[in-house]
Amino acid sequence: MPREKYSDNNDGLYKEVDTYNLVENLESCLACGKCVGNCPVASLSPSYNPRQIISDVLSGNSEKWLKSEEIWRCFWCAGCATVCPNDIQFPLLMMQLRYRAVEKNYGLKHIMPFKRFALRAREDGLTFAPSEKGREKIKRYRSNLGTSPWPEISDRAKAEYKELFNLTGATEHLEKLSDEAEKPVSFSYTEGRITND
Amino acid sequence: MTEQRVVTPEELFPEVPESIFLFRSCTGSMEYPGTENAIKEVMNKLGVKIVMDPDQTCCSGYLLTCSVYKPELSLAVTARNLAIVEKQDLDTYVFCNGCYGYNRELAHIMKHNPAYMQMANDVIAKQGYKYEGKTEIHHVQELWCRLKDEIAAKVVHSLKGLKVGVHYGCHYLAQQYHILDDGGYPTFHEEIIEAIGGTPVFYKERQLCCGYSVGRGITHKEEMVQPHLYKKFMSAKDAGVQLMTTVCPGCNVGLDREQPNINKRYEDEFNIPVIDLSQLIALALGVPVKKLGFEANTISLNGILTKLGIERGE
């Protein structure tokens, strides 16, 4: 007899989060909790609980996590996926939870610092290239090694990288990001459980 | 999943490749440029030819997981980069766990979802590329494992009992197939350390994440990253680790750059230099120190070099 699934009763509600179809086996979660045991963030912040998050996403209660501070603490180390007996790619769920949060104007303050890096990366074809002063240091170190002062990246690569931003709608996505729309997060917990929504 | 999760280096490389495509890492070529150089020097000593391409860009994974890039962009960038490698008929070798994880994961998504493959190819077709999913993605450390005996035979400066604590980095061990260990209790770095004469130290929090991933070092530094790393350094210090190795320039940033801040906050005295495993191998194989770019490190290597009796050659 096939195992009962959440979607038998709630029409696949978790697809509201998994819009890219990247965690198709989420319903096979056994709630064994190995992910929590192997999570460095859960060890510091008990209210961050991957097993609880999966359970809530499956039953359509993802909203409280979208509003939470907790989802922004994940290191994305994939320790949860490493030990999952059913190979659930929890980090890919976390990525999409964060997209949903941003769409609803939660947690924008946690991604705004990266908008600057993204806009710069769009010009450089490299991520985390520093500003002018930092660049001088890199050039000096690289010259001391006897290599080219700047990583060998062609103008063609830079132009095409930038073009991909336009072709995939990334430019639009980036320009829209602003923390003015930020909604304050309501959050409280007792004994490691989020209590309100 | 039909593919085998853990494979031996010999299964991974029945033949040692004559030439490889080395995938440039942003952090590895800017923050710690000595990493890239060390790999070139070691490959040269092992007789493996390196091909790089200036048309290759960033892998676009880091900012994807910081939620500022959308998957569409990163899929297209991955397809474009790997299409460049495929044109040369080579396999891709990365030296950053980030590049490894993201390239592998995004390539996997494209290979298993025809719609995503189509989407990425439609976009990059406008720039004259086509990604077919032929190139295999490897980490250079796999080649070090495969060529361990050759490396051991070429050691010039034995590491004479230097106590080395390794850091594997999450995004290698978390992959789902064709990796050297499943992350339960990996030992392949320790085997390499032994091969070059060092003493591997199994410290308790050996597999703890570097904390740098996904920008937590920027947005949650004091809240999450520092208490997290404090645990790691405490256990390393207790075990007597003198030097830490990584296989990811990103982990190197997290572990090296953050130490002075942790010292200040917790009033402790951690002074553990962190370098790339490739830099340590290069050092053992007699590559001159000035070719390894240790000046980029926050925690100075001078004590270690003096201990080993290696000329700094400034």
Structural domain boundaries in chain A? 6-107+184-194, 108-181
3-class SS of residue B230: helix
Contact criterion met (CB < 8 Å) for A127 and B63 = yes
Decide if B152 touches A, using CB distance below 8 A.
no
pLDDT over 70 at A192, yes or no: no
Residue A36: pLDDT band with limits 50, 70, 90? very high
A156, A164, A171, A173: best mutation site toward chain B, by most B Cβ within 10 Å? A164
pLDDT over 80 at B216, yes or no: no
% of chain B at pLDDT higher than 70: 98
Report the DSSP pairing between strands B19-23 and B92-94. parallel
Q: Once rounded to an integer, what is the mean pLDDT over residues A99-109?
A: 91
Contacts with A19 from chain B: Cβ below 8 Å? none
pLDDT over 90 at A91, yes or no: yes
Q: Once rounded to an integer, what is the mean pLDDT over residues A149-174?
A: 94
Report the DSSP pairing between strands A193-194 and B163-166. unpaired
Q: Which fold has domain A6-107+184-194?
A: Fumarate Reductase Iron-sulfur Protein; Chain B, domain 2 (1.10.1060)
pLDDT tens, position by position, B150-203 = 999 999 998 988 999 999 999 999 888 899 998 888 999 999 999 999 999 999
pLDDT tens, position by position, B273-306 = 999 999 999 999 999 999 999 999 999 999 999 9
CATH of span B149-308: 3.40.50.11810
pLDDT tens, position by position, A110-159 = 899 899 999 999 999 999 888 888 899 999 999 999 999 999 999 999 99
Q: What is the pLDDT of residue B197?
A: 94
Q: What share of chain A is helix, strand, coil (3-state, %, to 5)?
A: 55, 0, 40
pLDDT over 80 at B231, yes or no: yes
Q: Which residue of A has its CA nearest to B61?
A: A127
Tokens standing for B174?
């978390």
Where are the domain boundaries for CATH 1.20.1050.140 in chain B?
9-140
Q: What is the pLDDT of residue B86?
A: 96
Q: What is the pLDDT of residue A187?
A: 58
Q: How many CB pairs under 8 A join A and B?
A: 186
**Chain A closest CA to B289's CA: distance in Å?**
10
d(CA A103, CA A101): 5
Say what the pTM is. 0.93
**Chain B closest CA to A182's CA: distance in Å?**
15
**Which candidate, B224, B299, B253, places its Cα nearest to that of B97?**
B253
Q: Which residue of B has its CA nearest to A121?
A: B58
Decide if B60 touches A, using CB distance below 8 A.
yes
Helix H or strand E encompassing B35: helix B33-46
Q: What is the pLDDT of residue A164?
A: 96
Q: Once rounded to an integer, what is the mean pLDDT over residues A177-194?
A: 71
Q: What is the pLDDT of residue B314?
A: 56
What's the whole-number average pLDDT of chain B? 93
Q: What is the pLDDT of residue A190?
A: 64
Q: Once rounded to an integer, what is the mean pLDDT over residues B250-279?
A: 93
Contacts with A35 from chain B: Cβ below 8 Å? none
Q: What is the pLDDT of residue B161?
A: 85
ipTM: 0.92
Contact criterion met (CB < 8 Å) for B65 and A91 = yes
Ordered alpha helix ranges (H), chain A: 6-10, 34-37, 40-44, 50-58, 63-66, 79-83, 90-103, 108-124, 132-145, 155-167, 170-176
Q: Once rounded to an integer, what is the mean pLDDT over residues A23-44?
A: 93
Top CATH class of B9-140 equals mainly alpha
Decide if B55 touches A, using CB distance below 8 A.
yes
Angle between helices B71-87 and A155-167 (to 10 degrees): 140
Contact criterion met (CB < 8 Å) for B76 and A168 = yes
